[in-house]
Amino acid sequence: MKKDDCIFCKIANGEIPSNTLYEDESFRVILDVGPATKGHALILPREHFANLYELPEDWCQKAFLLAKRMAARMTERLGCDGFNLLQNNGEVAGQTVHHFHVHLIPRYKDDGQELEMKKSSPSQEELAKVREEICG
């Protein structure tokens, strides 16, 4: 289903123009208007799902397969040196548009972009506690 007040629903369904790289009956892939690097693109489902939690599993499979294919094609055409897939869920995780999307981010040697995480150094006990919380 589409959502009337959702900009990505409108873009995905062609009601608002975009720089489209690919489209099929389920998805549209567009260039991001605020690219982190040259070629930064977004995979948008044509139906409205707010985030990964709402995305049905069959859509998830198709989205990831499309991400792989787009990454291969963009790498070949753009000559990038690496690639990030990024997918934010919830404001705390950096999601600003609440229509599921996958970021396709070509990376270039010396592109100056910083997507790296700040890492921590938990003890073995702390890691085991987290594992128990998730799996126990």
The residues of the shown chain that bind ligand AMP, judged by CB under 6 A, are 7, 11, 18, 30, 32-34, 42, 88, 94-97
Got the DSSP string for 99-135?
Answer: S--EEEEEE-TT-----PPPP----HHHHHHHHHHHH
Half-sphere exposure of 75 (CA within 13 A, CB side): 13
Which residue's CB comes closest to ligand AMP? 34
What is the C-alpha separation between 55 and 121, in angstroms, rounded?
33
- Minimum gap (Å) between residue 4 Cβ and Zn ion: 9
Judge whether 51 and 8 are in contact, CB under 8 Å.
no
Binding mask 49-88 for Zn ion (x = CB under 5 A): ----------------------------------------
32 binds, among Zn ion, ligand AMP, none (CB under 5 to 8 A by kind): ligand AMP
Closest among 100, 5, 2 to 59, alpha carbons compared: 100
Binding partner selected for residue 6 from Zn ion, ligand AMP, none, CB under the kind-specific 5 to 8 Å limit? Zn ion
| Partner whose binding site includes residue 28, from Zn ion, ligand AMP, none (CB under 5 to 8 Å by kind) | none
Each residue 93-122 as x (binds Zn ion by CB under 5 A) or -, in order, gives ------x-----------------------
Catalytic residue among 40, 48, 101, 103: 101
Task: Compute the half-sphere exposure of residue 64: CA atoms within 13 Å on the CB side of its CA.
Answer: 7
C-beta separation of 20 from 11 below 8 A: no
Q: Which residues are catalytic?
A: 101
